[in-house]
Amino acid sequence: MNVRDSEHLIAELSISENYSLTTDVSEADLIIINTCSVREKPVAKLFSEIGVFAKNKKSNAKIGVCGCTASHLGNEIIRRAPMVDFVLGARNVSKITKVLHQKHAVEIDTNFDDSTYAFGEYRANPLKAMINISMGCDKSCTFCIVPTTRGEEISIPSHLIANEIKKAVENGAKEVMLLGQNVNSYGRRFSENSEVKNFTSLLQTISLIDGLERIRFTSPHPLHMDDDFIREFASNPKICKQIHVPLQSGSSQILKAMKRGYTKEWFLNRCALIRSLAPDATISTDIIVGFPGESDENFEDTMDVLERVRFDQMFSFIYSPRPHTPAAEYKNQINPDISSARLTKLQERHTEILDEIMQAQIDTVHQVYFDELKPNGKVAGRSDDGKLIFVEGSEELLGTIKPVKIIKTSRSLLDGVVIKDNQ
């Protein structure tokens, strides 16, 4: 979502203020740091980054801090780093041209409604388009700072989403990635009328758009994965067979303490339904270890879910206490050495599983959408199930979907050769 917010900022600045992009800091008239605050580390890094930019910038160049850390620290950023010219919260992207002209402006209103704002068109890669469908989050997971930084959930009306997709398709995109904190609770709240009112219907509607061949989305919430949604995911040929199902913990007791709203059994049941209706689909997940109160037994539940689902991709972290979250106040915080040992055990087992999954890819054939030329003469693309695949080739492949046979594997990517359809 931050990457897409950055694209919106770039679009507004180039259209209204005549800025263009540079990769050379010493040449820049404006430096924007778009921040994350989901974990503690990037927040700590922000102030050292500001110092580095301040040292290397032109004397009159401005520095702006945007994103989730901007939302939660607000004025504090300017107090600690007065060389920052403005602070713009994650929910206030459309105000960029306003804050640019006000010294030490701070715009961090988390209820500000950007949901019907039509941003200018800029995409770092026009072949695949990120499309926001909602912003904010109405959940209250006890570890998560996002509802504080991005505000209440609001969905973008379906006609605006469809228009944006059509524009992206006209500009060369065959694939879209629908973005939201909770994509499958789409329709919870609108600020103006929308024809389509739930996520499954939205998927059905946008898959009718001519020229659009692939639809991805992130992130769905396991709680809202009803049978209709999973059936649509499995049967709609335009929906890529790759799904992120964020587990967080395999223990029903910890899930309750996290206020995730589902149990271990519900999670396993949803994954089993996905596997039975879409056997070729890949399932990825997020896992937190060392959440306050996590016992050895609770952690073994997480290991058990890993064994049963065999995730194709896993983003795993040690619990990081965040300000403005209930879990940060819990008294039963876990010793960092225990958390660290659990993370190592989880990741080592996942690596073994991943090696088996990737090894089994040899000689399989995938339909690959090529979207990036690499400096080493290779062209990169994604299979329908989300695997990163490289082939020898040239820019003629860009924007095409071709069958590729896998000839070499590693843990995170695959090498292949383009074949003829009947090979």
In the range 234-273, which residues lie near ligand SF4 by CB under 6 A?
A: none
User: The dihedral of CA 243, 223, 219, 287: what is its sign?
Assistant: negative
Residues whose CB falls within 8 Å of the CB of residue 255, separated by 6 or more in sequence, listed in order: 248, 249, 262, 263, 264
CA distance 314 to 244: 9
Stretch that binds ligand SF4, among 44-52, 143-151, 306-314, 325-333 (CB under 6 A): 143-151
Binding of residue 144 to ligand SF4 (CB under 6 A): yes
Contact between 143 and 257 under an 8 Å Cβ cutoff? The reply is: no
Query: Whole-number minimum distance, CB 75 to ligand SF4, in Å?
Result: 24
Which residue, 5 or 384, is less far from ligand SF4 as judged by CB? 5
- Residue from 146, 247, 327, 358 touching ligand SF4 (CB under 6 A): that is 146
Query: Whole-number minimum distance, CB 254 to ligand SF4, in Å?
Result: 14
- Residue from 149, 182, 200, 285 touching ligand SF4 (CB under 6 A): that is 182
Which residue, 33 or 137, is less far from ligand SF4 as judged by CB? 137
Stretch that binds ligand SF4, among 142-150, 291-299, 360-368, 378-386 (CB under 6 A): 142-150
Query: Whole-number minimum distance, CB 15 to ligand SF4, in Å?
Result: 30
Residue given tokens 């996520």 in the structure block:
199
Which residue, 99 or 146, is less far from ligand SF4 as judged by CB? 146
Interface mask toward ligand SF4 for 101-140; x: CB under 6 A: ------------------------------------x-x-
How many chain residues interact with ligand SF4 (CB under 6 A)? 9
Which residue type sits at 195? E
Binding of residue 45 to ligand SF4 (CB under 6 A): no
Interface mask toward ligand SF4 for 388-407; x: CB under 6 A: --------------------
The pair of structure tokens assigned to 181 is 């904190």
Contact between 147 and 16 under an 8 Å Cβ cutoff? The reply is: no
CA distance 193 to 262: 31
Which residue, 181 or 200, is less far from ligand SF4 as judged by CB? 181
In the range 212-231, which residues lie near ligand SF4 by CB under 6 A?
A: 221
Which residue, 57 or 244, is less far from ligand SF4 as judged by CB? 244
User: What b-and-e string marks burial along 61-99, b requiring 16 or more CB atoms within 10 Å of the CB?
Assistant: bbbbbbbbbbbbbbeebbeebeebbbbbbbbbbbbbeeb
The pair of structure tokens assigned to 118 is 């039509």
End-to-end alpha carbon distance in the chain: 39
Which residue, 182 or 298, is less far from ligand SF4 as judged by CB? 182
Which run of H or of E encompasses 97? helix 96-99
Binding of residue 181 to ligand SF4 (CB under 6 A): yes
Binding of residue 197 to ligand SF4 (CB under 6 A): no
Which residue, 110 or 204, is less far from ligand SF4 as judged by CB? 110
Contact between 85 and 103 under an 8 Å Cβ cutoff? The reply is: yes
Which residue, 39 or 159, is less far from ligand SF4 as judged by CB? 39
Query: Whole-number minimum distance, CB 347 to ligand SF4, in Å?
Result: 21
In the range 147-166, which residues lie near ligand SF4 by CB under 6 A?
A: 147
Query: Whole-number minimum distance, CB 153 to ligand SF4, in Å?
Result: 8
> How far from 129 is each of 3, 171, 198, 251, 331, CA to CA, in Å?
11, 10, 21, 36, 44
The pair of structure tokens assigned to 59 is 């004397």
Query: Whole-number minimum distance, CB 221 to ligand SF4, in Å?
Result: 6
Helix and strand totals (H; E) in the chain: 13, 17
Site of interaction with ligand SF4 (CB under 6 A): 137, 139, 141, 144, 146-147, 181-182, 221
